[in-house]
Structure 1
């Protein structure tokens, strides 16, 4: 409200005039912030604030703080994040002060998930971007021309993404797609088969590149995790190598050799007479370091590790096996049978002529050398013993009947003989027959 004032005016004559004057007060000046816009992008300065005034006496003047650049309009613009004050004055200089705060969004940021390329030189990588801060929603534009949070079918390399938020704020960042440091490869060595026909070849592998662990196969189907492939026969091999991400590499041809076959030949079976010995002779296809003779029975040899042993005297068939070994430990074997001809025939001539002509003068016992006559008897036709001898070898020209009895020459006639013999193998046998004495 206002206030009434009374004034009395008196002149020189003492006359008075009394008047009442009412003086009114203006309303209080009031200032407020009508509107404010926050900063669009972090660290930006496009915020605004608009002040309005009431009360007091128009017109009003506006004076913003120094952090606005001392703007003097109702609306301050180009504002960064912060608190701003404005002083409003009316025509009488009455003032009011009001403040406002301008905010800004969080800075735009991005996180990446990179999926590496499976195999060196391939295009199987991918990138995923996830924006944060700013003002959602976001738009993603990649250096490949693709749009969206995720791009795939990428080769190894560096990729750039530009992200725009709802306010048009922009962020440019890069990320990388990796690949294995080197392509799959393998160095290799091979051990040849030790002996012809064996399956003991080995391939040794030294893998590199790709993504461990590795598996290996010689047929492309059955894979193992060892770098030594064993139990291989002679031949040509390619090894498939596979890493943990399914990448494959095939080696060049790996050759596993084998030596020529080692063989030994003892020749055809042998045949000897009873009591004789046999020399065994081996024909070997290559140099060897050892001979091992194995009698497959009780019969022995004069040596068991030589090239050409001699058998014991044989009275029965025998079989011998030879195993030869070369410097690689390879072996070969053969067998030979030695058959024994058992000639047990004992002969006494059917006639003899003891006439001192040095031809057929004695009745002798003939047979296979080595046979012993244990008893030799001659009888006349009346059964009288006219000659007897024993324990002498067959074919002995000095032991036989000379056609006499008790110092007297016997007349021509037929005589009966009886022989007991023992062969070299200990078998005993008897024979009997007749002979004619011729004068």
Structure 2
């Protein structure tokens, strides 16, 4: 076919079979049926036809992961049509393309969400293709499940809820139980609820639980777990045991019945000698009960099958105590006396007693039961007789250990006579050794006068002691001694100890006299006396010598009483001596001042005249005289023996009166002289302060250079050391009149008016600037001094003389009082 121009086609009609008729224009060497005229008209009546198949799209399909799909058979309105198909998602397990019908395949979706594939089919017959159609295959994931754990439990024990879990939310779990007799239903959905497993057999039983996960209709891999239920063990009831304290027990074995494999036991009371718990049989042990009541222990035995607790049985082990006897101590009686009732007791109630006596000569039977009643003790010898009684107790078939007591029977003892003693206070007595017979083994004695230094009662011999008599009359102590055997006292033997007092020689205490006086010393209660030392005494062997001592002295007197007892005492004679009153030298004070007087050497003081004194009766009064005064002080001692008098004078000086006049005001830089007016001189010392601006500080009239506000104080001191003061305020101010700048100058180097400078007093130049008529700065100096050409203008600008003209100056000054001022003006430079 040959085409020279573009062809246009017209759709005549669309039916199940589309027929198109073309008219072709033949060309040279060509098939007329295959040539087309550009005018779109055909000049050949040959006719060609093509049938296009049409198909309906298959229904969408949904499968679970791992399941086999069905074959999808395609069909169209043309029976001989063929089919080509494509798969948009080969991961579902189907190839990416193929021909013919869609084959069966195993659906694949290893993920957790549904995946889809679009299957597109194109029908054709011969070379004519129909329109493509599509349908969707959806593959849902298959749920998974966590691993299952087998359980081994005991009959009747609680099993908690068994949870099933997987990685896909929304998964439902169904399960089946092949052995409902364990107490779990045969099937269910969701988690297995908590339940109490059952096994009433003699052997373990095992149930198999099969679990199937389901998600959106898709089944995942199933799993299995086992629940094994062990049986409950049982035990034959053990027998109770009854023991005495100290018994050796045998091993207690247990007998199990159904399924028992081991035993555990607990003991409620370990005080019986058995541990608090154990496994297997109860071992033999030594029974213990240290109390006074029967002790019962509850032994609880539990049978075990593997780790499953079975039946528990309880039996008792009772341990009775050993009676602990309480018997009287050693019994001592005297010959012919009745013994006390000897009663026995025990820590255990209802104890019975038996006893045996090894010495019947004391008057007691050789044996008996129960307590021992009183009996008359017998001892016909000179020595004690002791019988041993052995006692045994029994309670609840448990015997006590044997106890023993002794009964001693003593003969009646006698004491030999004891000689009396007589001695002085603080003398050592003779030791007293008692003696006697008839089997005694000790002595007791009583003393009716313990003040002599001997206890009121005692035992045994009396050792030597220092006899005491603190009074003034003789003390006689009566002492009675008895020989004793334990509890047996013989007749008393009496003797006495007489103690004479030490004579109280002095009838007076320490005394005091003024020098030059005398005193009579008094002694008594002795038949002879001796005084020492002998100085200043009228006699040394009399009871009342007279002392005329000139200084303090201590005398000792010794005397012997009529009973031959010596005594001594001392007395201090204090002699008061004369003294001198001391005062300081006379002194000077200023009018209106006070002065503290002082005196020493005496006990008390009296000053006069008393006027102007703070206290005229003390050693150091404060004196404030208005005029020169002579003071007198009289000192005395505390014994009213002596006095002494002293004097001192206080001179009262006048205070200078100095006046500086009224306060003054002056310009800074002004020199003034400060001239004080004086009364009540003469002045021997001047003092000015502060020193700033003053020509001197120790002169009468200093010259002051005024710089700033200041208050000055002057002190004037006269020959008595009295000082007067006054002050004056100087106010400093600053005026423009203090500054002078010439209106013209001639810088021609003739030595006259060559430099333009700031002149004045009481000022400092902060800045000095010169401007020409066009406002240009031609000169500047800062921080200069007035009246100093070094800080002035020499008529040059940058080293070159300027032209004669009128110039403007600006000066900033600081007065001595700190005030800042600015001055402006004109000056003419003349050449």
Instruction: Return the TM-score normalized by structure 1.
Output: 0.41
Higher relative contact order (CA 8 A, sep 6+): 1
Instruction: Return the TM-score normalized by structure 2.
Output: 0.25
Higher alpha-carbon Rg: 2
